[in-house]
């Protein structure tokens, strides 16, 4: 994590257990702080608020509306919609900011709050730090509460879903159709449960839908991008050409081929990068992925004359590096894929349509189309921790890293920005050596962080 370690904001907005870290009181105060910050740039005095399907979204949404109207903003509430839809609609509807209430792929009992500026971009670290400073300033919060005619108002709009559907469909080549394709989509009982199937059906696909019965508690539960094994079973049962899995806020994409195998996220991105290159639409000299991506992807792109730039973990870090390098494509192996010509952030549905377009054009089976190279063996383990002790203070870690590097193993150890976990990654050509070293690494961190 770069710069100041913030108390509220993590890798992607504010996230934690609803009613514990993300409470009605903290959400209202955070909304007030955000409103005070955006007042400096306000042009329309409107802020857009959307959410996913979690029960706690009702509590947090009402608290946010109270906080924003208390500092004089008018609020547009649009109900359950994907996170990328909030990014798009914030700019499209000329709002001063956008807020999405979601904990993405986390279980139902967590929730979170993500923020977008007037152009639909996620806030950078400096802006989050400014909002935190306002949040902690009692005098500033108190002095900005409005009275009389200055208090804001809220309005719920239910018909914006059509705008987003048209926007996503426009990213699919107009000369193509999905009329000969059988597609299974798992909506994770989340925010994409209406828009996802609708878009695919309108483009002509024969669509089978699962994970589209949200009840407030079943979001991401044994479904969606976090559990693609269920999608795989349906793909095989329906003899489908492809399976699409979204996560709770539909900003992540995981795909399953016709054989029921989960498509590697790096291989999917590498294939799509080459497709853009062949179409003459890839801007810059390569693509952006994160430090988590496989070395095999790096070597494959290099053999094709493209560069792989690596950012810190988090799709907003990917976007920042894309902008710096003048590149229009990038993503994370976990499924956040960014086509910046169509979206400002990861968009599971937009990315799915680009993959489907490639399948139609290539005429290949998904198992062949999205398997362009051999990956290095890679092991990833998540360990729960009680406290996120600074890694540089862990005695013996430098010696462990030296040993790992002497064996030619690539490593990455980092804390989750959204959960009390440390994420461990090792990568090498020698799987047996990897497995042995991972046991040593796990033992070290279990002891060091106990």
Q: Give bridge partners of residue 256 from the DSSP assignment.
A: 243, 262
Q: Alpha-carbon distance 135 to 249, whole Å?
A: 26
Strands 337-339 and 378-384: unpaired
Contact 283, 328 (CB under 8 A): yes
- Burial environment of residue 387 by CB neighbours within 10 A (0 to 12, 13 to 18, 19 or more): exposed
Q: Alpha-carbon distance 227 to 391, whole Å?
A: 31
Reference 327, options 294, 286, 291, 368; nearest CA is 286
Phi, psi values for residue 166, rounded to 5° = -60, -45
Strands 253-256 and 307-311: unpaired
Write out the catalytic residue numbers: 104
Reference 9, options 102, 136, 114; nearest CA is 114
How far is CA 178 from each of CA 258, 274, 337, 359, 387, rounded to the nearest angstrom? 16, 21, 21, 10, 49
Taking CB atoms within 8 Å and a gap of at least 24, the contacts of 254-259 are 254/225, 254/228, 254/335, 255/352, 255/355, 255/366, 255/370, 256/184, 256/228, 256/231, 256/232, 257/365, 257/366, 257/367, 257/370, 258/365, 258/366, 258/367, 259/367
Residue with structure tokens 């279980």? Answer: 107
Q: Angle between the 24-39 and 125-135 helix axes, to the nearest 10 degrees? A: 120
Collapsing DSSP to helix, strand or coil, 76 comes out as strand
Collapsing DSSP to helix, strand or coil, 57 comes out as helix
CA dihedral 46, 52, 53, 55 (to 10 degrees): -70
CB atoms within 10 A of CB 394: 16
Q: Alpha-carbon distance 253 to 296, whole Å?
A: 21
């Amino acid at each position: 994590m770069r710069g100041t370690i913030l108390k509220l904001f993590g890798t992607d907005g504010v996230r934690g257990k609803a009613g514990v870290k993300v409470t009605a009181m903290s959400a209202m105060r955070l909304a007030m702080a955000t409103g005070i910050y955006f007042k400096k740039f306000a042009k329309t005095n409107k802020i857009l608020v959307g959410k996913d399907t979690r029960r706690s979204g009702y509590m947090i949404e009402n608290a946010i509306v109270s906080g924003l109207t208390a500092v004089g903003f008018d609020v547009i509430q649009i109900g359950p919609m994907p996170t990328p839809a909030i990014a798009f609609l914030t700019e499209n509807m000329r709002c001063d900011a956008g807020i999405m209430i979601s904990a993405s792929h986390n279980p139902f009992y967590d929730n979170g709050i993500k923020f977008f500026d007037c152009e639909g971009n996620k806030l950078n670290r400096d802006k989050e730090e400014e909002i935190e400073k306002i949040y902690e300033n009692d005098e500033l919060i108190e002095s900005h509460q409005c009275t009389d005619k200055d208090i804001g108002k809220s309005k719920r709009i239910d018909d914006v879903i059509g705008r987003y559907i048209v926007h996503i469909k426009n990213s699919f080549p107009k000369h193509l159709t999905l009329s000969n394709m059988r597609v299974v989509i798992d909506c994770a009982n989340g925010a994409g449960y209406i828009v996802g199937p609708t878009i695919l059906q309108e483009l002509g696909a024969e669509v089978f839908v699962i994970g589209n019965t949200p009840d407030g508690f079943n979001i991401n539960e044994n479904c969606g991008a976090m559990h693609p094994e269920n999608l795989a079973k349906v793909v095989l049962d329906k003899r489908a050409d492809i399976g699409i899995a979204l996560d709770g806020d539909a900003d992540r994409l995981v795909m399953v081929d016709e054989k029921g195998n989960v498509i590697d996220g790096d291989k999917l991105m590498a294939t799509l990068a080459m497709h853009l290159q062949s179409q003459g639409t890839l801007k810059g000299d390569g693509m952006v992925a994160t430090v988590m991506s496989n070395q095999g992807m790096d070597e494959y792109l290099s053999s094709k004359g493209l560069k792989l730039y690596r950012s810190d973990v988090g799709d907003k870090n990917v976007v920042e590096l894309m902008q710096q390098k003048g590149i229009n494509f990038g993503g994370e192996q976990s499924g956040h894929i960014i086509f910046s010509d169509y979206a400002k952030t990861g968009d599971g549905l937009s990315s799915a349509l680009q993959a489907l377009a490639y399948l139609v054009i290539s005429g290949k089976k998904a198992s062949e189309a999205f398997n362009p190279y051999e990956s290095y063996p890679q092991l990833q383990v998540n360990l729960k921790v009680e406290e996120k002790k600074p890694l540089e203070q862990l005695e013996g870690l430098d010696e462990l890293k030296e040993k790992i590097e002497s064996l030619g193993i690539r490593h990455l150890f980092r804390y989750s920005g959204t959960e009390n976990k440390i994420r461990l990654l090792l990568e090498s050509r020698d799987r047996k050596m990897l497995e042995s070293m991972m046991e040593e690494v796990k033992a070290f961190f279990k002891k060091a962080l106990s």
